[in-house]
Amino acid sequence: QADIGMFEAKESGRNRICFFTDARQAAINSRNSMLQALKGALQNDELCLYYQPQISISGELIGAEALLRWLPPDGDLIPPEDFIPLAEETGLILMIGEWVMAQVCQDLTLMARHDLPPDFSVAINISPRQFSDATLASKIRDVIRSNGVCTGSLKLELTESSLFMDLEHAGKVMEELRAMGIGIELDDFGTGYSSLSALKSLPIDALKLDRTLVQGIMDDGRGRAILRAAVAMAKALSLKVIAEGVETREQHLRLVEEGCDLFQGYLFARPMPLDSFVAHLDDGGWPFRTNPEEVERTS
Ligand code: C2E
Ligand code: MG
Ligand code: MG
Ligand code: MG
């Protein structure tokens, strides 16, 4: 339909305004129906969390990141990038975020019945809107209490855009969370506007290097130099460094050489539903051995 509209608009100048008005209306309609569908998804239990393992330098499972999925009953799985921006713009992310926290606590309780490593923790993604919600810390405290989960088993991933809206607010909330024993990680590092002074003043525990940085290290010396500088800065501030989006053995080796502490990526495991995650725990398939084929190619 849009193609025909476009064609008509090109054919005749007079149709052009009409086309753009229709397109705009269509966009509003589809946003509204998407929003309605997303509200329905929240009510009808169509959201679900996948878990992706995080690995220590010695190859041990140390945690997992909770990643949201939408599974409509009659369709394919919808990735978060297709609905989180809309949820963020409309504020629905606050309800979704509460669902995520409660679900993570429930899932942690189930995981704990299997063979979990002692310091295992789950990382939850928090969007800027959620972070600016004055009740975030108390919501987390409540959900932890009502599920009987240990605070040390939760950590939060924030992006840089959360921090630079209001540094003072950010600092206060983070102190509150830290006092509860909840770790804070800066996600997607290397993609935003990193203010070094903000990093200095905020109580952050770890930097999570974005996968574009990680993947850039194999390209040329410049990519490697940037990664090296980011790691050096993190170390100088006593922050741990997590590399995300690690896909190959070569990347992993180089990241180890450069001093990264923790790793996450398809090389080790893709994000998976809770039952697969638990099945892996039971199988003793972890601690991780990296793909033997990849090892052969590099050695
Ligand atoms: P993120 O927090 O940076 O999560 C990492 C993304 O990289 C995930 O995409 C993950 O599946 C993907 N990934 C992991 N390893 C690899 C790899 O080796 N190669 C490649 N190419 N990709 C890898 P996903 O699950 O589609 O999530 C996308 C983004 O959606 C997340 O980025 C996060 O910003 C947001 N998100 C996910 N779940 C939630 C949530 O519960 N709440 C909020 N507010 N945002 C969420
Ligand atoms: Mg994340
Ligand atoms: Mg990230
Ligand atoms: Mg991201």
CA of 156 to the centre of ligand 1 (A): 13
| 239 has pLDDT over 70 | yes
Considering every ligand atom shown, identify the ligand nearest to the alpha carbon of residue 81 and give its number: 1
| 1 has pLDDT over 50 | no
Per-residue model confidence (pLDDT) at position 296: 42
Gap between the Cα atoms of 26 and 95, Å rounded: 26
Per-residue model confidence (pLDDT) at position 57: 93
Is the model more confident about 8 or about 101? 101
Pocket of ligand 1 (CB under 6 A): 52, 67-68, 79-81, 84, 93, 100, 125-127, 157, 187-188, 211, 244-247, 265-266, 271
Binning pLDDT at 50, 70 and 90, where does residue 19 land?
A: low
| 201 has pLDDT over 50 | yes
Gap between the Cα atoms of 267 and 218, Å rounded: 15
Q: 67, 131, 186: which to mutate for ligand 1, most atoms within 8 A of CB?
A: 67
Average pLDDT of the residues in 188-216:
86
Of the listed ranges 41-50, 77-86, 112-121, 285-294, the one predicted with least confidence: 285-294
Query: DSSP states of 134-154 as a string?
Result: TTHHHHHHHHHHHHT--GGGE
CA neighbor of 117 nearest in space, from 53, 187, 184: 53
| Bridge pairing between strands 61-70 and 47-56 | antiparallel
Average pLDDT of the residues in 4-20:
49
| 194 has pLDDT over 90 | no
Residues 212 and 190 sit within 8 Å (Cβ to Cβ): yes
Per-residue model confidence (pLDDT) at position 163: 81
Per-residue model confidence (pLDDT) at position 126: 97
CA of 68 to the centre of ligand 1 (A): 8
Is the model more confident about 280 or about 200? 280
| 248 has pLDDT over 90 | yes
Average pLDDT of the residues in 145-160:
92
Residue nearest to atom 25 of ligand 1 (CA): 67
Share of the chain above pLDDT 70, in %: 88
| 297 has pLDDT over 50 | no
State residue 273 phi and psi, 5-degree precision.
Answer: -65, 160
| 275 has pLDDT over 70 | yes
Average pLDDT, the chain: 87
| 107 has pLDDT over 70 | yes
| 7 has pLDDT over 60 | no
Residue 205: is it exposed, middle or buried by C-beta count within 10 angstroms (0-12/13-18/19+)?
A: middle
| 165 has pLDDT over 50 | yes
CA of 185 to the centre of ligand 2 (A): 9
Per-residue model confidence (pLDDT) at position 220: 79
Average pLDDT of the residues in 49-54:
98
Please state the pTM of the whole predicted model: 0.89
Gap between the Cα atoms of 5 and 194, Å rounded: 42
Binning pLDDT at 50, 70 and 90, where does residue 287 land?
A: low
Per-residue model confidence (pLDDT) at position 10: 46
Residue nearest to atom 16 of ligand 1 (CA): 245
Tens-digit pLDDT profile for residues 21-47: 777 788 888 889 999 999 999 999 999
CA of 33 to the centre of ligand 2 (A): 27
Per-residue model confidence (pLDDT) at position 20: 61
